[in-house]
Structures are given as structure tokens and as C-alpha cells.
Amino acid sequence: MSELKNNKELFRLGLGLAFLSIGSSWALSSLLAVLLPQKIGIVVGETAKISTLAWVATVANISGFVIAVFAGHLSDRTRSLIGKRNPWIAGSGIGAFLSFLFLMWANDTFLLALSSSLILVFVTISNVVTSAIIPDRVPITRRGTLAASIAIGSLIGMAIGLSLGGLFVDNVNTGLMVTGGGQILISVSFVFLIREKSNRSEVFQGKSKTIWKSFLPPKNAPDFYWAVVSRFFLVFGTQMILAYQLYIITDHLHQQAGGTAKALNYAAIAYTTGALIGGLLGGPLSDKLGKRKGLTVLSIFIIGSSILLMAFFPTVTSFTWYKFLNGLGYGIYLSVHTALTSEVIPNDNSQGKDMSFLSVANGLGGVFAPMVSAFAIGLGMGYNPLFIIAASLSVGSLFLILPIKSIK
């Protein structure tokens, strides 16, 4: 697929990618941070909610990361009148909508796990394909800026998810309906407005002799693996907090229904503000300087250290500051790290599949996070062990960026 050179076309693409990212992140944050925990509490009761959330979220995240490589690879090989990425974007939005409807009617733990898993599958497909569009269509000198649009969209979507989740905390099924409807509206609109040319005549140039071998991760690409493994540990740490965010507010900060909704709204505003600042600065600055590593390391430190605020100051105010700093760090990180990873892909013919390993890292982090969170909370020392472990994993991931040699 040819790269876009025209600034107007790049702007339209960036805007479209931002909205796609808003939709996916809205779905994940609303589901994992508010709607799913609340739905589980309704179905299984207060006494079983911690353990049930742990295994339901784990199963859902496993489903998401398993599908990631397949989605990226198959989209690389897709040939259609509307291109190789747009069919997957439209399909993922429709599938997510139907899966949210399924979750509305789930009334036991099996159906909760199944419907949540389907949502994670379709949202992961959308994320994988969205990330692949960057190396597909954006010149290297503009990738930081375009990746920033995905980062800003992701973080705004997370804030929207938290805010709407808080709004529907006492009416979960309505929240699921609204969130699911948002997925199909955004994805189908993208396909109609950001057209992709037919690629039916395009010949796949992959080197693999068989389709199964072509699913394997790239060889002789140490910098690529450093970037992916670093993402895994950062997501591992931050997902430990996200998975139990609702319970942190209700049990650690001791907020009732009205206070919980207010805390989530404050968090959404703070997170959006930080994300906009970080995203608008991070990607363009890394393009201008031609450097990715230093900004990535700085952003990881901001993300990880912000978690400790809740350990030392268990108040809604500290939670709000945590969300602001977390959004600021992630705004920088997602734009710069995505650009960095796109530049260490060893094979231009497998960009979708290789970029999908970022989603694998996200998914694996999400798999382990709920289990470790439940273990930390179960130690009987409140939520502080959770914060310390999460901060350590997040900050520790910056040391895996340092060995990357091919990128400054």
C-alpha cells in the first residue's frame, strides 16, 4: 500500500485513526474498569466479586491476545474491493456491538466470561488493524505525529469510558448498549469516510513457504522484541490498577455510589487533560528531534511513579492527580513507542502481523494483571501491595527500552 504524502490526506487519516482509537479504548475502559465489575457484583454478589472478576477478566484477555497475531496476519493477506484493513475494521465494530448486547443478557459466570471474551476479541482486532495502518500509509518522518493521533484517541476514549461508566454505574445494561452502539457507529463511519483502494490485484510478497510458517514472529529482530517485551511489563503494571479501579474507589477510597460517580468523572477529566498534553507534545516532538528512546523512557517513569500516589495519599484528590499524570505519561508513550516499534519491524510485507505483537503484549499483560491484583489484595494489607507491585512492574519496563540500538 502506498504511503500518503499530502498533508490534507494525512490529517484526515490521523483524525480517522483517532476516532477508531477512541472507540476501542472507550469499550475497554468502560467494560474493564466499571461495567464488567459492576455486572459481576450484581450477578455473583459482594463476597465473590474479587475472585470472579479475576478469572473472567483473565479469560477475556487470553481470548484477546490469542486472536491478535491471527488478525494482523490475515489482514496482511486480505484482498478486497475496500482494501485489506477496512473489512476488518467494519467487521470488528459490528462484532463488538453484538457482543455488548450478549453481555447485557448474561446472567451467570460462564456467559459473563464468554461475552466479555468476544468483546475483547473484536476490540483487539480493531486495535491490531488500526496500528498496522501507520506503517502501511504513513512516511517514517510523520509516524510520530500520526501515532500521536492514535495515542490521544486511545486516552480520550479511556476517559470517555470512565465517565460514561460512572454515569451508568447504577444502570449497567444501558451503559453496555450505549458503548456497543458507539463501536459500530465509529467503525462503519471510518470505512465510509477514510476509503482504502481495492487491492484485489495485489500479490502478497511474503517470504514464508507456508501460511503456518508466516504466523511465526520475526527473526533476527532484537530491537523489536525489546520494544514488545517492554510494552508487556508496562501494560501488566497499569492493567493491575485498571482491572480493580472501581473497587479501589469503593473499597480503598471508601466512596459510596454518588462519590464513586464523581470520582470517575474527575478522573476522566484529569486523564483527558493529561493525555491531550502528552499526546500533542510527544509524537510531534519525537519527529522533530528524530529521537524516540529518551521520550519513551521518560513517559514510562511518569506512568509508573504516578501509581504510588494512591498508596501514600488514599484520597479522591490523589486519585485524580494519579489519572492526570498517568494520562500525561501515556499520551507521550503511546505516540512515541508506537512510532518506535513501527521503525524496528524487520519485514515491510508483514506489518500487520508484526505490529499485532503489541496487542499480544497488551493482552498478555491483561491476562496476568487480574490474577496478581487479586493475590495482592488478598494478602490482607489493603490495596497498598497492589500499588507497589504495579508501580514496580511499570517503572521496571523502562530498562528494557535502553538496549534498543537501531533507534535513537
Report the alpha-carbon distance of residue 172 to residue 355 in Å, rounded. Answer: 34
Q: Does 36 or 211 have the greater pLDDT score? A: 36
Report the alpha-carbon distance of residue 370 to residue 243 in Å, rounded. Answer: 6
Secondary structure of residue 163 in the 3-state scheme: helix
Average the pLDDT over 31-55 and give the result: 85
CA distances (Å), 258 to each of 38, 111, 270, 331, in order? 14, 29, 19, 29
% of the chain at pLDDT higher than 70: 88
- Residue 28 pLDDT > 80: yes
- Residue 113 pLDDT > 80: yes
% of the chain at pLDDT higher than 90: 24
Report the alpha-carbon distance of residue 50 to residue 28 in Å, rounded. Answer: 19
Q: Does 306 or 354 have the greater pLDDT score? A: 306
* Cβ contacts of 376-385, under 8 Å, gap ≥ 24: 376/240, 377/50, 377/244, 378/50, 382/252, 383/244, 383/248, 383/251, 383/252, 383/310, 383/311, 384/311
Average the pLDDT over 144-168 and give the result: 80
Q: What is the pLDDT of residue 5?
A: 57
**Each residue's pLDDT tens digit, 280-290:** 887 778 777 77
CA distances (Å), 106 to each of 36, 40, 42, 48, 182, in order? 11, 10, 11, 17, 20
Question: What's the number of CA atoms in the CB half-sphere (13 Å) around residue 141?
Answer: 4
Average the pLDDT over 162-188 and give the result: 89
Could you tell me which of 168, 2, 77, 56 has the C-alpha nearest to residue 356?
77
**Are 72 and 84 in contact, with CB atoms under 8 Å apart?**
no
> What single-letter amino acid sits at 398?
L
Q: In which band, very low, low, confident or very high, does the pLDDT at 57 lie, cut at 50, 70 and 90? A: confident
Q: Does 370 or 341 have the greater pLDDT score? A: 370
Task: Report the C-alpha dihedral over residues 305, 310, 312, 317, rounded to 10 degrees.
Answer: 110
CA distances (Å), 282 to each of 139, 289, 298, 328, in order? 17, 11, 10, 9
- Residue 321 pLDDT > 60: yes
Report the alpha-carbon distance of residue 322 to residue 15 in Å, rounded. Answer: 28
Could you tell me which of 353, 350, 343 has the C-alpha nearest to residue 404?
343
**Each residue's pLDDT tens digit, 125-151:** 898 888 778 777 777 777 777 777 887
Domains of the chain and CATH, by start: 1-197 (1.20.1250.20), 218-407 (1.20.1250.20)
DSSP category for residue 251:
I
- Residue 4 pLDDT > 70: no
Report the alpha-carbon distance of residue 67 to residue 62 in Å, rounded. Answer: 9
Ordered DSSP codes for 353-399: HHHHHHHHHHHHHHHHHHHHHHHHHTTSSTTHHHHHHHHHHHHHGGG
| First-to-final CA distance of the chain | 27
Q: What is the pLDDT of residue 400?
A: 86
Report the alpha-carbon distance of residue 164 to residue 264 in Å, rounded. Answer: 9
**Are 340 and 214 in contact, with CB atoms under 8 Å apart?**
no
Q: In which band, very low, low, confident or very high, does the pLDDT at 95 lie, cut at 50, 70 and 90? A: very high
Q: In which band, very low, low, confident or very high, does the pLDDT at 358 lie, cut at 50, 70 and 90? A: low
Average the pLDDT over 311-320 and give the result: 90
For all residues of the chain together, what is the average pLDDT?
82
**Are 156 and 276 in contact, with CB atoms under 8 Å apart?**
yes
How much of the chain is in helix, strand and coil states, percent to nearest 5? 80, 0, 20
- Residue 213 pLDDT > 70: no
Average the pLDDT over 208-222 and give the result: 59
- Residue 292 pLDDT > 70: yes
Cell of 43: 450477578
Q: In which band, very low, low, confident or very high, does the pLDDT at 219 lie, cut at 50, 70 and 90? A: low
**pTM for this predicted structure:** 0.71
Could you tell me which of 126, 121, 159, 136 has the C-alpha nearest to residue 20?
126
**Each residue's pLDDT tens digit, 227-280:** 888 888 998 998 888 878 888 888 888 887 678 878 888 888 898 888 888 888
Ordered DSSP codes for 288-315: HHT--HHHHHHHHHHHHHHTTHHHH--S
Residue 344 has phi, psi (to 5 degrees) of -110, 10
Q: What is the pLDDT of residue 111?
A: 93
